[in-house]
Amino acid sequence: MSEPMSETPAIADLIQQGLFHHRQGDFAQAMQRYSDVLRIDPNNADALYYVASIACQEEQYKEGIGLARKALAAGPPQARMHNLIGKAHERLGEHLEAIKAFDAAIATDPTFAEAHGNRALLLSDAGMPEEALKSFDRALALDPAAVPDWVNRGTLLLELGRFEEALASFEKAIALAPEDAHTQMGRGNALAALGRYADAEQAYQQAIARNPKLAIAHTKKAMAVIYQGRLAEARKLLEQRMALQPKDASTAFALAQLMLLMGDWRAAWPLFESRASLPQPSYAPLEGERWQGQAPGGYRLVLLAEQGLDDTLQFARYASLLAGRGHDVTVLAPPVLAPLLRSLPGIERVTSSLDEIAADKRPYRWLPLLSTMGLMHLTADTVPAQEPYLAAEPERVARWRDKLGDGFKVGISWQGATGGTPLATFAPLAELTGVRLISLQKGPAAGECARVPFGSKIEHPLNANDISAEGLLDMAAVMANLDLVVSIDALPAHLAGALGRPVFLALPRIPDWRWLTEREDSPWYPTMRLFRQDDTRQWQPVFARIAAAIRERAGG
């Protein structure tokens, strides 16, 4: 909080008294002193600023904006006034006005570091990361001791996948505020993103030591223990947290996924429902009654797609299964998936429109798609061994057959929405004689082909930038003409499995829950074979085994 400007002795004393109470959190006593000042000098800019600050601290943001504007009108422009107005507009969700105010603060005083930091955070939230980083760097150049800016900068770098830089940013913050639990949390997150799980565990423990009530730190520590392969220990940690905080959704969901990974599905599915109470729920409930497994009759059943596209592809099988049991099934899916899902056998409709569901006046009950498993099949041994439940369009398949031509064709995908492996790890596949590598990779990761020595051996029949529904239909048609798909855990693997195509799936030492542990097959996809990292956590042995299996398959 800035010190007041020079005043007459009486006013200066009153403001100092007000600041003392203000810093102690005694807003009533502080307001009394500031009000005394304003009775003497109604346009006193310092008193108006501090009164505006208290209004904002008490969440009376519009009043705070009005008082700050009055202060600006009463005296020369002050960067702190504009900055306060910007923070109030941000709290009100008025981001454009907030940016204007922060820009005005910087124009008034380009060295006012706090305004640069506030502007950076707003730009980050608005999806302008590079501009945000410039503002963070400017703020920290002006005030290298600004802990919040180091932390926020580190968080942004984590989101951008620049993990080493993020770690450095958090470590700067820790050097300045070693007792701050959230700063230790940020460091743990960066270490975990780098795969340094033992170090991440220690960082989360440091956060817990500083704030034992920080529930997310306990959950993150357990996740770091999981990724070190100590599953039973992690389960015990999460169960202990659940006993202390049974309503904490993040802990419950983490425990559910761990139990699923360990194969304890019967106990896990009820906890899996906690995803609806996460800070960012995986679905929005529909109006009306949720389906609880009742027999068909007198209502439609609406299944809601949720989480990632690959989750929807995996669980879409249950739409057909329920239709086969007599239900009139509608699937509510994102537009990019809707055309492909219309190939599901037996269902009544696929739509992306709530209005379309409402226009049908028949009553309905609804259920999130990933809740079907818990209601219908409680263990890995009871996953329905279905025939391919999705299909590529026959005419599109024929067109791609002509385009692709002959040879042993292997589709490859190396990056998904939540990570993957560098394309360079696929090098053993490029050494196979008589094998054509067909890229199924979408997005920026497709550019890696230009940076690996075997890039010229990879064919690109699909548009890597086309992530539309048409692009997905084309991918399905290409897969229908391939001899094999080799992928990390991402959408192409699930699509190939749903289409009944042969799939080799490369998995990290600790995979997502759906792949369980140890086994080389998948209960979800009969045509899939799993290739797992060993305890060394290296990809080279995985792809050497995949290459050997392809050589055997192609030779056969």
SS3 306: coil
CA distance 6 to 53: 20
DSSP one-letter string for 146-197:
-HHHHHHHHHHHHHTT-HHHHHHHHHHHHHH-TT-HHHHHHHHHHHHHTT-H
Range 136-139, long-range pairs (CB < 8 A, 24+ positions): 139/113, 139/114
Instruction: Give the helix/strand (H/E) hosting 503.
Output: strand 503-507
- Res 483 pLDDT > 50: yes
CA distance 80 to 105: 7
pLDDT of residue 4: 47
The DSSP bridge pattern shows strands 419-420 and 415-416 to be: antiparallel
Report, as an integer, the average pLDDT of 533-546: 95
Higher-confidence residue of 85 and 181: namely 181
- Res 26 pLDDT > 80: no
Report, as an integer, the average pLDDT of 384-400: 91
- Res 25 pLDDT > 90: no
Tell which residue, 135, 124, 72, 74, has the closest CA to residue 102: 135
Could you give the count of Cα atoms lying within 13 Å of 87 in the half-sphere of its Cβ? Answer: 20
Tell which residue, 29, 20, 6, 22, has the closest CA to residue 75: 6
- Res 3 pLDDT > 70: no
Do 435 and 410 contact (CB within 8 A), yes or no? yes
- Residues contacting residue 178 through CB under 8 Å, at least 6 positions apart: none
Convert the pLDDT of each residue in 332-363 to its tens digit.
999 999 999 999 999 999 999 999 999 999 99
CA distance 316 to 348: 13
pLDDT of residue 10: 80
Q: What are phi and psi of 368, to 5 degrees?
A: -65, 140
Report, as an integer, the average pLDDT of 539-549: 97
pLDDT of residue 385: 67
The pTM score is: 0.82
CA distance 471 to 400: 13
- Copy the structure tokens of residue 132: 């945000």
What Rg, from alpha-carbon coordinates, does the chain have? 29
Range 140-147, long-range pairs (CB < 8 A, 24+ positions): 140/113, 142/111, 142/112, 142/113, 142/116, 143/113, 143/114, 143/117, 145/176, 146/113, 146/114, 146/117, 147/173, 147/176, 147/177, 147/180, 147/183
Report, as an integer, the average pLDDT of 241-253: 91
The DSSP bridge pattern shows strands 435-439 and 458-459 to be: parallel
Convert the pLDDT of each residue in 122-167 to its tens digit.
898 888 999 999 999 999 999 999 999 999 999 999 999 899 999 9
CA distance 101 to 88: 10
Do 156 and 130 contact (CB within 8 A), yes or no? no
- Sheet with 328-332, edge to edge strand ranges: 289-290, 364-368, 300-304, 328-332, 349-351
SS3 334: coil
pLDDT of residue 464: 94
Give me the chain's average pLDDT, please: 91
Side chain identity, residue 481: N
- Res 235 pLDDT > 80: yes
Side chain identity, residue 157: L
CA distance 439 to 458: 6
Convert the pLDDT of each residue in 49-108 to its tens digit.
787 777 778 888 888 888 888 888 877 788 888 888 888 888 888 888 988 988 998 999
Outline where DSSP puts E strands in 26-128. Answer: none
- Residues contacting residue 366 through CB under 8 Å, at least 6 positions apart: 285, 286, 288, 289, 290, 291, 301, 302, 303, 304
CA distance 504 to 524: 14
